[in-house]
Structure 1
Amino acid sequence: MIRVILAEDQQMLRGALTSLLSFESDIQVIAEVADGQKAWEVIQREVPDVCILDIEMPYLTGLELAEKIKVAHLPCKVMIVTTFARPGYLQKAMDCDVNGYLLKDEPIDYLIEAIRKVNNGEKVVSRDLAATLFMKELNPLNEREIAVLELVKEGLTTNEISKKLFLTKGTIRNYLSTSIQKLHVESRQQAVNTASDKGWI
């Protein structure tokens, strides 16, 4: 029996997947949760065979969970299931050594077969994403620029960011200016949008 945890913040989709997987005689959904923190608590307690994780969830993202599982040396296999075909997200997932990366518009039969393959030690990537693996785009931003853009994304002002990072407002403006130049955009909001689209923040 393949013991599965399903972490997905959309209740209807989570319920539908749980119901469909319950028809499989060799798959058991031992828990379904709506956010990353609850998922992490259940994963540590139950140590499932396969963790099916959405990327964008409250508290902890699927990629952050994958990293935690890797660092904790838990034997769980990790599958990311997402609507996002962004190269940056896929690269982060590969860096976290996930076992599967599937798009949500795949047929349910594909997901079920992927669970079995992943449980057996195989790696599975949606067919539409296979080419993306060979088009790795390097992130031009450094750690400070990423940190600043992430705080801009959260809605913080330059003054608030400077206090949070213990840097002068002039330094924050410099980081924003270099980010805008590196991403070939015209404003801090465009920089945030571009970096988000590529999965860099």
Structure 2
Amino acid sequence: MIRVVVAEDQRMLRGALTSLIKFEKDIEVVAEVSDGQQAWEAIQQYKPDVCLADIEMPNMTGLELAENLRSEGNGCKIIIVTTYGRPGYLQKAVDAKVEGYLLKDEPIDYLITSIRKVMNGERVISTDLAAALLLKEESPLTERETEVLRLTKSGLTTSDITRELFLTKGTVRNYLSSAIQKLGADSRQQAVNIAVEKGWI
């Protein structure tokens, strides 16, 4: 019996996934949870074979969950289920060594087959996403520009960033200005949005 945890913050979708999986004689849903932290706790408690995880969840994203599980050597297999076909997200998922990365509009049969495939040691990626991975753009940002944008995304002001990175305000503004220019953005927030969409921060 394949033991599965379903982690999805949309209640209707979580319930639908769970109900459909229950029709399978060789797969059992041992827990269904609404955020990443609950998923982490359920995996520790129930020791499932597979976790179906949404990429964008409160408290801990699906990618953070995967990274945390890998860093502690947990053998639970992760299948990210997402609406996002962005190459950057997919690359992060590959880097986090997830076993599956599926779009939510795939047929349920594809999901069920994918669960069985990852249990057999295979890696499964939606066909459309595999093509997107090949077209992945390289980030034009330097390491410092990336760091400054990441801190901006976290809600830090220029003054906060100067303290965090031990830089002057002028230097931080220069990094922000350079990042905005490289990304063809009109503002720091737009630059953050572009970098997030492409999976660069």
Q: TM-score category by the smaller chain?
A: over 0.9
Matched with 1:146 is: 146
* Cα 1:157–1:103 shift into 2, 3 Å: same
Matched with 1:37 is: 37
Instruction: Provide Cα deviations, 1:19-43, integer angstroms capped at 9, x if missing partner.
Output: 1111111111111111111111222
* Residue pairs, 1:46-195, within 5 angstroms: 46-195=46-195
Q: Deviation at 1:199?
A: 1.6
Unaligned runs of 5+ in 1: none
Q: Deviation at 1:100?
A: 0.6
Matched with 1:4 is: 4
- The residue type paired with residue 64 of structure 1 is E
Matched with 1:25 is: 25
Instruction: Provide Cα deviations, 1:39-93, integer angstroms capped at 9, x if missing partner.
Output: 1122223221111111111111111111111111111111010000000000111
* Cα 1:139–1:117 shift into 2, 3 Å: same
- The share of aligned pairs that are identical, in percent, is 68
* Cα 1:175–1:127 shift into 2, 3 Å: same
Unaligned runs of 5+ in 2: none
Higher mean C-alpha displacement, 161-170 vs 116-125: 161-170
Q: Deviation at 1:113?
A: 0.9
Q: Deviation at 1:164?
A: 4.2
- The residue type paired with residue 137 of structure 1 is E
Q: Deviation at 1:154?
A: 3.7
- The residue type paired with residue 71 of structure 1 is S
Contact 1:53–1:81 under 8 Å retained in 2: yes
Q: Deviation at 1:165?
A: 4.0
Taking structure 2 as the reference length, the TM-score comes to 0.92
Contact 1:47–1:74 under 8 Å retained in 2: no
Instruction: Provide Cα deviations, 1:153-182, integer angstroms capped at 9, x if missing partner.
Output: 344332233344443322221221121132
> SS in structure 1 opposite 2:191?
helix
* Cα 1:142–1:65 shift into 2, 3 Å: farther
Partner Cα separation in structure 1 for residue 36 and residue 164 of structure 2: 24
Taking structure 1 as the reference length, the TM-score comes to 0.92
Contact 1:100–1:124 under 8 Å retained in 2: yes
